[in-house]
Amino acid sequence: MGNQNNLLEKVEYKGYTIEVYSDEFADSPRENDEMAQFFFFHKKYRLGDENPLKAADFSGWEEMEKKLQKEFRLVVPVYMYDHSGISLSTTPFSCPWDSGQIGFACAHAEDIRRTYGVDRITKKIKDKALRYIEGEVETYSKYVNGDFCEYRVFRGAVEIDACYSIEDCELAVQMGKEHVDIIEDIDARALKSAGLEPEPG
């Protein structure tokens, strides 16, 4: 079994045990081929993607936004709340003391068209792209806050499956159950082809 100190949830399902742990070594979602680029600036934390901009070269967020709008089709402000953990959002937080803007999430027109397989960016596609960017920010927020999980599936004491860098505990349990369902289906097909009946669960 895994490190019980990191155990978040334990579920019994169809004779299998699904254990969900905090993933201390989760891969950053920014390593994936994401649609948006994150231009974040903070004195204490290194967040977002590598970028050539320096906050000191601009008089403020408005000047930086105007520069980014010359290159990107979508430029979305991103805000951070830093209190007993980090939260990122595309909408401002209500607390004026522990929150504020941290930068922008930007998307090139060609990346939007590639993501949705279109030649023209209509208002409907633009709205979808904005929601997509909001999702990227939300996922990254979970990552920097240490919320990513891993699941492990056991049959008895034998680990038969594991998956890492999952966004949250609920999704990890769902994925673990789906894998058990696949195993059960494969076993049932194998028994049927052998002319046997599966044992009642």
Q: Residue 201's pLDDT is what? A: 53
Judged against a pLDDT cut of 80, whether residue 90 lies above it is answered with yes
Q: What is the mean pLDDT of the chain?
A: 91
How many CB atoms lie under 10 A from the CB of residue 118? 13
| Sign of CA pseudo-dihedral 45, 23, 77, 53 | positive
Q: How far apart are the first and last CA of the chain?
A: 24
SS3 152: strand
- Sheet hosting strand 158-166, strand order edge to edge: 7-13, 16-22, 149-155, 158-166
pTM listed for this prediction:
0.83
Look at residue 194 in the predicted model and tell me its pLDDT.
65
User: What average pLDDT score do residues 93-111 get?
Assistant: 93
Q: What is the pLDDT of residue 187?
A: 73
Alpha-carbon gap, residue 173 to 180, rounded angstroms:
11
pLDDT tens-digit map of 176-189: 999 999 988 887 77
- The domain locations on the chain are 7-21+148-193, 29-144
Predicted local distance difference test score (pLDDT) of residue 102: 96
Answer yes or no: is pLDDT of 93 > 70: yes
Instruction: Please write the tens of the pLDDT for every residue from 23-76.
Output: 989 999 998 888 999 999 998 889 999 989 999 999 999 999 999 999 999 999
pLDDT digits (tens, 9 = 90+) for 139-189: 999 999 999 999 999 999 999 999 999 999 999 999 999 999 998 888 777
Return the pLDDT at 199. 59
Q: Which of 55, 58, 70, 60 is nearest to 106 (CA)?
A: 70
